[in-house]
Amino acid sequence: MVTAEETGIKKSRGQEFKEGLRDGVPIALGYLAVSFTLGIQAKEAGMGILEATVMSLVNLTSAGEFAALTIIGAASSYLEMAVSQLIINLRYMLMSFALSQKVSPQLGVPHRMCMAFGVTDEIFGISVGREGHLNPYYNYGAMSIAIPGWTLGTFLGVLMGNVLPESVVSALSLALYGMFLAIIIPKAREDRHVLAAVIVAMAASWLCTKVPVIRDISAGTRIILLTVVIALIAAIVFPVKEEQEVTEDE
């Protein structure tokens, strides 16, 4: 039987927040580097410092913002912008579904909505790996440092991006991938099932770029399809046993 201590129920809100803050530090540093290049592109698209900074503050999506800046630069329609953002960011809906299974059934809607705002690939990665029920204050801690990191990087990119050599800017754009690997690898080392899913996902992702018809589908749509298919197969082959509900009396 899972004890209250193992599920983290006994931790205070402050403890959960501090742990989220701690785990969010490397995410913030990665965001700072990547959003720096976003700021440079925002400036090239004609956006000012305030516009670009507010955009990053209220839109926590790297692929979505980069695509949006491309559309802005091309002076495309609002409809094209809306459709592209829907497709690119649809994966966050899948992540939210997964996290909804991690939180307590008694968790209120306001907390769920606040957590949903901060669902990114990296915050999802550290959140879904938590033992037991996910405490919203853990997410708030991670969000409180990751979001400023993303926003500050955009601000600095618009302000002084053209000062740095192109080679340095290109290197900064790789930081997010390195950070995401740092999130995945420890969990993959602990659980061979996760490792198998990661390897299959990598192989399938590469294969989809070679197969006719499938390779012509947008990268965002391919990611969504692969996520659903591989997650479904993994859930069938490697089912996770439901944790027993733990009451405070226990």
Question: pLDDT of 80-93, one tens digit each?
Answer: 888 888 877 888 88
Q: What is the dihedral of CA 36, 143, 64, 57, to 10 degrees?
A: -70
pLDDT of residue 176: 58
Question: 0.75 cut: is pTM over it?
Answer: no
Give CA angle at 220 (239, 129), nearest 5°.
Answer: 35
Quote the pLDDT of residue 22. Answer: 94
pLDDT at 20: 94
Positions in the chain whose pLDDT score sits under 50: 1-8, 243-250
What confidence score (pLDDT) does residue 3 get? 40
8 Å CB contact between 122 and 180: yes
The reported pLDDT for the residue numbered 148 is 95
